[in-house]
Structure 1
Amino acid sequence: MLTRTRFETRFAPYQQRLFGFAVAMTGDRDRARDLLHDCVARAAAARVRPADEPAFRAWLFTIMRNLWIDQLRAEERRSRAAETLSDAMAPIPVSLESMVVETFAVRQAFELLSHDHREVLALVDISGFSYQEAADLLSVPRGTVMSRISRARQALAGLLADDGSNVVPLARKTGQA
């Protein structure tokens, strides 16, 4: 019982960041909740856990990433067709404020990025990992993370360019023919 309480105490500060990472990888809050649950179950069942907090945090994120990769591989084996972006996006009312529309545009553009770009942005920009921590989690050199993050940010900026040619419109402009 003491072990479970200790795990819950150590896990609590990372729960929201792990959930954010899961949402960034899956693009779906329900699926992200399931992924987070699987991560907690796997981590809680582990016989050995890292003692220091930075290693514990990295260990949790590694478990989540590996679970996600396993899920993707299972989906490929079953030849499950990928959902289109339009199926995943719910219609957005025209009356929403522009800030909300921009937020959805960023999310939509994020989903159009490659898996590697989404993953590195999720670790560094969303979850707050340093380049070195992200490199350790991804098992790549720090320079690779730096170049991936640079290319990912450029790709995201290109998708969000003012011409809007790469992103599906989220709301119709009123007053135009």
Structure 2
Amino acid sequence: MKKILYCQFLFIFTCITALAQVPENLPNFNGMFKMENNAPFSSDSLSNKGINALIFYDPGCGHCQELASEIGKSLDQFDKGTDFYFVAMQEKGQVDGMLNMFAKELIDKPNVHFLYDPEGKFILAFNPKNFPFTYIYAGDTKREIKHFNGEGKIKKLLPYLITKK
């Protein structure tokens, strides 16, 4: 009987784990808004070229603040076609506070975008486990290049954010 229960548990755990995987292809999503003008934003709004990074973060998270700061200080190292989409469930005031304290270099950059996700659509689409969660993908194919759960260091992300020439 214990063997049967153990096997059932193992099967259910495996199924749940398989369903909660980070997607290999960029999933469709909607219900987000641009922070600067509250315009609707969906997966169709993302750049179709270069390398793109979706970063799910909390403005109060130390690792998230560190990553935003390091990205801001490293912007000149990225290809012109690299876009960053910072996604937060917190409102603009909290995001602005984080930017002004830790990542002023990101403000008003054409390849850096801040999105508001009031309903947690990002969580449903990408299954992040920790903050910050970074999903790096190719804009043209929408295929995942690499993802990181809880990584706050740009040096780990950098090799995946630069096009090999």
TM over 0.5: no
What's the TM-score once normalised by structure 1's chain length?
Answer: 0.21
Bigger proportion of residues as helix: 1
Q: Which has the higher strand share?
A: 2
If you compute each CA radius of gyration, which structure gives the higher value, 1 or 2?
A: 1
What TM-score, normalized to structure 2?
0.22
Q: Relative contact order (alpha carbons < 8 A, sep ≥ 6): 1 or 2 greater?
A: 2
